[in-house]
Amino acid sequence: MGTGIEALRSTELEAKLIAIRRQLHQYPEVAYEEFETTRAIRKWLEEADIRIVDFPLQTGVVAEIGANNNSGPIIALRADIDALPIQEETGLPYASKIPGKMHACGHDFHTAVILGAAYLLKQQEKTLAGTVRFLFQPAEEKGTGARQLVERGVLEGVHAIFGLHNKPDLEVGAIGIKPGPLMASVDGFEIDVEGIGTHAAIPHAGVDPIVAASQIVTALQSIVSRNVSPLDNAVVSVTTIHGGTTWNVIPDKVVLGGTIRTFQEEVRARIPERLRAIIEGVASAYGANVHLRWFAGPPPVHNDEKLTQLSIDVAKKVGLQVVTPEPSAAGEDFAYYQLKIPGSFIFFGTSGTEEWHHPGFTLDERALLPGAHYFAELAASALKDR
């Protein structure tokens, strides 16, 4: 393996990875609808004589490379494969051909990088110190794909897992790696605030859920300011308020919705009870009733110390520039794998022009080949390390 990303370029592999990424980009499929994507990934694996492992999955693919079946450790590399319900506005010649759908989070890039790593590892299959398992995971954007794969047993026998996300604000050639918390937990809530409807001019005859809901929105902000240590962090955002139909009627119900993000499991565990106490207390002060629905999403992404050090060592070895990334309050369902086995999640520099989920989201394809080399080298090193 050469050193320096320049030495890794201008090969046939790069052309192949660009073609793969562009095909995925033109035909994006959203969570649990990745049927053509799954077919294409299977084809690209089979063409390279890489063995596909059968798990009961509607979409998504699991594959393996190893010298001897089931001898030695198993290391997993994970790519997510789903797109978003966004209308692409990049104007690129290979822009999405599917109206209203777009790879606006760069999961096409992740898939191509991990396929590239598989191609490279296939060339050294006989000398690998164990098995590399590739997870092409559906439905990351729903936050449920990883959990489903874990339930289907894809981590059985796996010792460690690595995953990546492209990072628009890091240059090609840079890689963001840090131990500990990297991405936030993602929980959601809905609150029904129930009052008694009445004429807008005769409010005393009813119970106004709009006034009660307004107080709840404000009061919820005290969770972060008064219940979370200044040394920890959390976000409580109310993002939807629905109630009322016209100007002269006080409605009988308002529905609030929102999300809670944090990097600390202890903080995450305390928030629902504080939220419930506040909404019940405020509602009762106004004579209203509340019903809370809680939607627990992925926990925080928390990187294993030892694997992270290995990720850094390998990055330096292949000539990438290692930076310490700022944690992102976005979520990642990679965290579900890390609940089961040690893992390291890595930000890969792609010199993007827009943030994730933007209709103008782009990335620099010169990051594909270094990505493939890096994850191949990382998996091979992790096997030797065991």
Q: Is the CB of 105 or the CB of 160 nearer to Ni ion?
A: 105
CA-nearest of 275, 278, 277 to 260 is 275
| Shortest distance in whole angstroms from residue 30 CB to Ni ion | 12
Minimum CB separation of residue 119 from Ni ion in Å reads 23
* Residue whose CB is less far from Ni ion, 130 or 298: 298
Work out the burial of residue 219: count CB atoms within 10 Å of its CB; fewer than 13 is exposed, 13-18 middle, 19 or more buried.
middle
For residues 45 and 63, is the Cβ–Cβ distance under 8 A? Answer: yes
Closer by beta carbon to Ni ion, 154 or else 363:
363
The least CB distance from residue 105 to Ni ion, in Å, is 3
Q: Return the residue nearest Ni ion (CB atom).
A: 105
Query: How does 296-310 read in b/e, with b if 16+ C-beta sit within 10 Å?
Result: ebbbbbbbbeebbeb
Binders of Ni ion among 324-383, rule CB under 5 A?
none
H or E, element range at 1: none
Nearer to Ni ion, 64 or 140 (CB): 140
Cβ 254 to Ni ion shortest distance, Å: 33
Q: How far is the CB of 337 from Ni ion (least distance, A)?
A: 15
Query: Mask 77-106, x = binds Ni ion (CB under 5 A)?
Result: ----------------------------x-
Instruction: Burial-class residue 183 by CB neighbours within 10 Å (0-12, 13-18, 19+).
Output: buried
Query: How would you classify the pairing of strands 187-194 and 289-296?
Result: antiparallel
Per DSSP, the three-state class of 295 is strand
For the CB of residue 142, give the shortest distance to Ni ion in the complex, in Å.
Answer: 11
By CB under 5 A, the count of residues binding Ni ion is: 1
List binders of Ni ion among 103-122 (CB under 5 A).
105
Nearer to Ni ion, 122 or 142 (CB): 142
Residue numbers 14-53 binding Ni ion by CB under 5 A: none
Query: What does the DSSP 8-state code read for residue 154?
Result: T
CA distances 372 to 179, 317, 344, Å, are 22, 14, 16
Of the two residues 164 and 314, which places its CB atom closer to Ni ion in the complex? 164
Q: Which residues bind Ni ion (CB under 5 A)?
A: 105
